[in-house]
A and B are shown apart, each in its own frame.
Chain A
Amino acid sequence: MKSSRSIRLISRRAASYVSRPTSRLTTTTERRQYSTHPPNARLNLPIDYSATPLLSHSSQTALATPDLPSEGKNSTTKRMNLFQAINDALSTALTEDENVIIFGEDVAFGGVFRCTMKLAELHGGERVFNTPLTEQGIMGFAIGAAAEGLRPVAEIQFADYVYPAFDQLVNEAAKYRYRDGSCGRSVGGLTVRMPCGGVGHGALYHSQSPESLFTHIPGLRVVMPRSPLQAKGLLLAAIRSNDPVIFMEPKILYRAAVEQVPTAAYTLPLGKADVIKEGKDVTIVSYGQPLYTCNAALEKAEADLGISVELIDLRTIYPWDKETIFKSVQKTGRVLVVHEAMVNAGVGAEVAAAIQEDPETFVRLEAPVQRVAGWSIHTPLMYEKFNVPDVARIYDSIKNTLEY
């Protein structure tokens, strides 16, 4: 209970921080809230989620989403934030398949981030329930249920707490189909949801982005949505997928990102990147929340430098869509990879290595691949804004690659 209160506050606080208009700044002599930005900042301004082109603010833009299948295109839409979209996807999954069950710590009353709100009341305590506080138990239980034909959606309360379940994920979930061979059993019905990423003040254990640890495990699919519309489509695809999926939810977006979301049940393809914005001079590859930062940086860079930048959302971090990335880099010749997780052995390392490894892409490179990511440190409370890639660092990286 204490935890849920604190977490709700964390996310609510984060949401109000990021959507607050820039004009509310006070003089420097007054005691400043830590969530404000420097008075003369031109680049590192808070993301304005109400205006960003990465979210569908109208029904028309939502329904024009690339990859949206016909059931989505012919649907009505509704304004939802990220946790509501996830709730909508979970509710849809529970309704359409009796084998879907949802469990984890504190999910029955609605979850500490409200993602499972009303699901227990609507679908019964046998299908949506609390587990004891044990991540390895949650994962082991989920694997057993999936191996016997259920489609469990397990929740790890924070990605920071997935490590006790690591053995179950690496040695069991990922290898189940492979070792069972022609017996044919797998845990393909398994989806593991976990909130991830920084929220401004989550410090060491409420901020982590451990996606690259999962991308090193054959057998798992790793997905991270950037918006409510994406979250619903990708989560439904994950639940319907016959491979186990790690579904990571940037918790800073739970309340901050609001957009029109098709009300119908629709999926978005796993393993396929999304070219958010076309450009010809530089490619930026990212996923999750940093895409908003990337977009703010590229808007400034385009205005200042008279260039055009292509922005690509990986969406699925593993197995990832190399073809789309290679095609873009062959066109632009310059590329940045941006992520919040620390730089060493992160997703950026894999993307950069694959780019230089592909003969047709390598010869088109005009500059070294740049990585803008967290430093190789833990996530410290007071220093988060110097650690997470911000608009200024991405802007600078765009300049660097152009000046090379």
Chain B
Amino acid sequence: MVLSHRLGEWAGHAPVLEEEVALANIALDLLGQARVLLSLAGDEDELAYLREERAFRNVQLVEQPNGDFAHTIARQLYFSTYQELLYERLARGGGPFAPLAAKAVKEVAYHRDHAEHWTLRLGDGTAESHERMRVALESLWRFTGELFEPVEGCEVEWDTLHTAWLARLTSVLERATLAVPEGPRRGAWAAGAGRQGVHTESFGRMLAEMQHLHRSHPGATW
């Protein structure tokens, strides 16, 4: 839901019309997945609009501001690669999320494909796009460790998921003439923090915008 919201901020601002369509399409898929998940837990709107920042359990990666197009693509590459591998495993695992994961994996495969194609174009495009893509990958790197912290209720082998993610990422970045960033990504705040309700500063502002109208009319239906 949070990543969908961020992608929704691109509407009317994308670099080409085709990307207006693509980014909105991805945002819609993610919102659809979020609505199914939230409905499993309770009332979707109550959960989306009436929880405060500390009660949100999303990873910090998805709440990161859009930045330039390269930042959006880097965030999308890290996350959709992870999502595809995770959903494949959840779909096979037969647990409570298997039906949702089986449907969503087709959507996120498309998101991952889109992110990879743009990573190649930007990485192996012009000197400027290469540099912007490199900076974006570096600056978001420290939010990737959290993706592989075990989540309660999710029976997944997190270490092998991580190995598969890194292998996929390495092969794409090599083809894009880029390198896998170095540096810490399991620091005290970045690892597991979002899952514990500890977020980055821009997140509260995002929620203020998202929740304002709903909160101004308590009990109303829309």
Q: Do A and B come from one complex?
A: no
Interface residues of B (CB under 8 A from A): none
Binding site for B on A (CB under 8 A): none
